[in-house]
Amino acid sequence: MSTTLSPVEINPLSSLDVWEDDLLDRYPDPETIAEGKTAEEFRNYETPARESVREFYRLNHTYQTYDFVVEKKKDYLKFDKKEMPVWKAFDFLNTLVDDSDPDTDLDQFQHLLQTSEAIRADGHPDWMVLAGLFHDMGKVLCLFGEPQWAVVGDTFPVGCAYSDKIVFSEFFSKNPDFYNPEYNTKYGVYSPNCGLRNVQLSWGHDEYIYHMMKDYLPEPALYMLRYHSFYSQHREHAYDHLMDDHDQEMFKWVNLFNPYDLYSKSPVAPDWNQLKPYYHQLVKKYLPETLKF
């Protein structure tokens, strides 16, 4: 891969939230629609933001090759970058806040806490609450110098044909794997219904947090972490041919999780001081004192 990325190629978006805002445009809250609001009322669709999202996906689809994924996993899954007490890790993640985006009024931690609180309010198991609290921790990859398109964005399988259900799929024609006969067939390097555990997904914050948590949380929570940005499957069902029965079963949890991620954003911040004792207990129950990055 080219080592000569320009600053705008590293950070095409004014903030990571621009990608999430775009997700809301693609998958608006069905309840908001039911209340009779128009798409315009729901969200003001800014052309400049959409342009940067387009450029973001051009870069993502161009550079996320099979080899790129293998290389990133080799590097980051050593977890030799940093070790931090759990609660310090949230402070570290929060240094990601950008003031370049006037729309961004909530920091990363607020999004995590709103997600976990919405899950808790609905009475789901405590490990799902914990998955909510940690699901975007992998965005610290940006702080280790990774370009935005290797941290966020919809994830998709590499090593086999790209689905046209993936957002901006036309940009895959820029990806060298698109022309590689080993990779560009329906199954590519995989076999029918081989199970997602045998499939490489594009590299980003999902895969990273999954590996960080895999020894500590029950399997449904791990599926939520690992596949929460895999929209072409959990929303579009484009890769049923790679999933096995167990994946299908576990994706019920991924589907249950997704609305909490997308639709729990509120301008009102939860009262952290009041919630702190609960979350300290919860973290203690499942996680070690420090996390390795």
Binding site for Fe ion (CB under 5 A): 136, 261
> Which of 22/261 has CB closer to Fe ion?
261
> Which of 111/160 has CB closer to Fe ion?
111
Output the DSSP codes for 118-172: HHHHTT--HHHHHHHHHTTGGGGGGGGT--GGGTSS---BSSSPPPTTSTTGGGG
> Which of 175/229 has CB closer to Fe ion?
229
Please state, in angstroms and rounded to a whole number, the distance separating the CA atoms of residues 75 and 52.
28
CB of 61 to Fe ion, least distance (A): 18
CB of 136 to Fe ion, least distance (A): 4
> Which of 61/228 has CB closer to Fe ion?
228
* C-alpha distance across the termini of the chain, in Å: 24
CB of 111 to Fe ion, least distance (A): 6
CB of 228 to Fe ion, least distance (A): 5
CB of 203 to Fe ion, least distance (A): 14
Q: How far is CA 260 from CA 28, 161, 243, in A?
A: 13, 30, 24
> Which of 162/227 has CB closer to Fe ion?
227
> Which of 160/213 has CB closer to Fe ion?
213
Contact in structure between 242 and 196 (CB atoms under 8 Å) = yes
Structure tokens at 190: 């995989």
Structure tokens at 154: 């919809």
CB of 222 to Fe ion, least distance (A): 14
CB of 186 to Fe ion, least distance (A): 28
Alpha helices by DSSP H, listed for the chain, are: 7-10, 17-26, 30-34, 39-42, 47-63, 66-76, 86-94, 108-121, 126-134, 205-213, 219-227, 231-234, 245-263, 272-286
> Which of 72/177 has CB closer to Fe ion?
72
Structure tokens at 138: 């992998």
